[in-house]
Structure 1
Amino acid sequence: MTEGLANFAVEGLSKPCQTWYKVFGDLHSSAIPLIILHGGPGACHDYLLSLTDLTPSVPLVFYDQLGNGRSTHLREKAGDESFWTVELFKRELDNLLKHLGLEDRPIDVYGHSWGGMLAAEWAAAPTCSNLRRLVLSNSLASMDAWRTGVTALRKQLPADVQAVLDRAEQDGDFESPEYEAAVEIFYKRHLSLARPWPPTEVEDALAWFAKNPTTYGTMYGPSELYISGSLRNWTCVPVLKNIKAATLLINGTEDEAQDVAMWPFFKHIGKVRWITLDGAAHFSHVDQRARYISCLRDFLVE
């Protein structure tokens, strides 16, 4: 296990930036490494560490994306939608691969939630010719499709919980204890089914949002139930036909990434398979850890 910092020159910034990464396994072996893109934006790598169950047969590269975790924080860019773009994070990924000497070697890429959105856009670019396999986990191909799924789940909440959510959105008050309690009810149903609540992985992810909400607040919004950030109209559907790598889709039956959000991946990517895990929500890797890892391993090492 090694860790380090990759210098990352960001256009328009005078301060130097760095991307923190950690490698499990040997990147110099003949095994094809898996690059892991976390969700959020801003959730950081910690909540995905159960993927180390794939080692030692699969070398893993975790990293914290710019703006949070152990990478450079840029609080002064909070609210700047022109700065926090998908293109910025694609450039950061390319920079990290170059730093690690992986830009011309066969690699596999895994993206969870927002990480899947980023991975899909990156994989559709003509420059990623070294991509062998792609995993899009608990993710979405367009924000409109995501809204459709989440809205349907929201309507299944108790009436009093829906009323609290509606009132908060009308008033623009997303910090009241009542709103936080209502959101937690949704999270218990559709973020993770693990008990006791919250599982460590959920705590890890949400803790980074609390420590520095710059990227999540600017790109997504105040919670999973209210999309107000720069990704509000995002879609990658037009470019999905450009993905040539064999692709695995994973979601859970109780996932906030409902089938409607994943369907365009299945429809438009040429070489694709789709697995939906029973008894699992958005953190399927937590809720059904052994089955999830087995699915990943079968796909990556076959």
Structure 2
Amino acid sequence: MSRRATTQGTVPFREYRTWYRVSGRLSGERPPLVVLHGGPGSTHDYLLPLCALTEAGWPVIHYDQLGNGGSTHLPEKGADFWTVRLFLDELDNLLRRLGVADEYVIFGHSWGGMLGAAHAAGRPPGLRGLVIANSPASMPTWRAEMVRLRATLPAEVQAALARHEAAGTTASREYFDAMRVFFDRYVCRLDPWPREYRASFMEMHNNPTVYYTMNGPTEFHVVGTLRDWSVEDLLPSVQVPTLIISGRHDEATPETVRPFRDLIPDSRWEILENSSHLPHLEEPDRFREVMVAYLATVHGARAGADSSDVVTGSQT
């Protein structure tokens, strides 16, 4: 398989199936980057630009977490089914089924970053590095920050959001349009939205079982089972070099991100100045530069490099 070649398929997980896509050669010299998408309940599509890392020699594995995309959909399942442990087990199963559990790097975006941190805290022997991108460490802190960000929206937008949330009509067009105002400021500042992001956004909008159950109807109205979840207590147990990424205009505000930097022993935080929640789409060149530099240090491709000299730019 060439670096640009891709394969895709499904692997069994319990009585279900997990869809995956491999870009590049898994039998090459460098460990694969395993990509954990956000949501929970989104899909891999918006993270497909990470395939560009294959040009630098890094194989990339995308997958759709159970309940969405190409994986088994289970709209009949309730809150007792959709748990963090379910998705940790699915990840472990995928690593084993694809034969990469002995050496890999995790990239987790948003919810995927929290999931990746929880996975890393278990100290799996094959994990070589961790990237936490645009993720909160604590959902209670996230909820508090959502209140603050929401208060920056125009008064009429805030009123529309509150009205529909109180009435239970968050599926209405007016609520959707008001929600877009928030998204355009703090999630994706590109106009129009890139095709990859639109694909994941609409997939989650049209198939919201997991997102509604675990999160709630929007990023800023978190009423699901994850509303009180935090990985802060787990972070000191992460023992691999960790790159933390966020955007200057990110809904994942510095207050939500800072515990990763403070509590993970070997961590570095990079803020991309012209991005919100999707730096890989909003600043692709700078994002790739940061990622390639980090991956080089993880694999030792730059012998003798000091990790403190590798990632440059705005840090806190």
TM-score with structure 2 setting the length = 0.90
Gaps of 5+ in 1: 10-15
Aligned partner of 1:139 among 131, 135, 145: 135
| C-alpha deviation, 1:233, in angstroms | 0.6
Aligned position for 1:259: 254
Q: Alignment partner of 2:9: what SS?
A: strand
Q: Alignment partner of 1:290: what SS?
A: helix
Aligned position for 1:72: 72
Q: Alignment partner of 1:55: what SS?
A: helix
Aligned partner of 1:156 among 119, 133, 152: 152
Does 1 or 2 have the higher relative contact order (CA < 8 Å, sep 6+)?
Answer: 1
Are 1:88 and 2:123 counterparts? no
CA distance in 2, matches of 1:142, 1:217: 18
Aligned partner of 1:108 among 105, 110, 113: 105
Alignment of 1:123-138 (within 5 A): 123-126=120-123, 128-138=124-134
CA distance in 2, matches of 1:269, 1:122: 13
| C-alpha deviation, 1:159, in angstroms | 1.0
CA distance in 2, matches of 1:44, 1:202: 9
CA contact (8 A) 1:142 1:235 kept: yes
CA contact (8 A) 1:138 1:252 kept: yes
Aligned length, in residue pairs: 291
Task: After the TM superposition, list the runs of 4 or more consecutive aligned residues in structure 1 that deviate by more than 2 angstroms.
Answer: none
| C-alpha deviation, 1:171, in angstroms | 1.8
CA distance in 1, matches of 2:88, 2:115: 7
CA contact (8 A) 1:219 1:229 kept: yes
Aligned position for 1:40: 39
Aligned position for 2:51: 52
Q: Percent identity?
A: 44
TM-score with structure 1 setting the length = 0.94
Are 1:236 and 2:235 counterparts? no
Aligned position for 1:193: 189
CA contact (8 A) 2:43 2:204 kept: no
CA distance in 2, matches of 1:53, 1:30: 17
Aligned partner of 1:210 among 205, 209, 228: 205
Q: Alignment partner of 2:149: what SS?
A: helix
| C-alpha deviation, 1:136, in angstroms | 0.3
Aligned position for 2:215: 220
CA distance in 1, matches of 2:173, 2:202: 17
User: RMSD of aligned C-alpha atoms?
Assistant: 1.1
| Amino acid paired to 1:249 | I
Q: Alignment partner of 1:95: what SS?
A: helix
Q: Alignment partner of 2:87: what SS?
A: helix
Aligned position for 2:312: none
CA distance in 2, matches of 1:8, 1:202: 27
| C-alpha deviation, 1:169, in angstroms | 2.1
Gaps of 5+ in 2: 1-5, 298-316
Aligned position for 2:307: none
Deviations 1:183-228 (A, max 9, x none): 00011101111122x3213311211112311111111111112101
| Amino acid paired to 1:246 | P
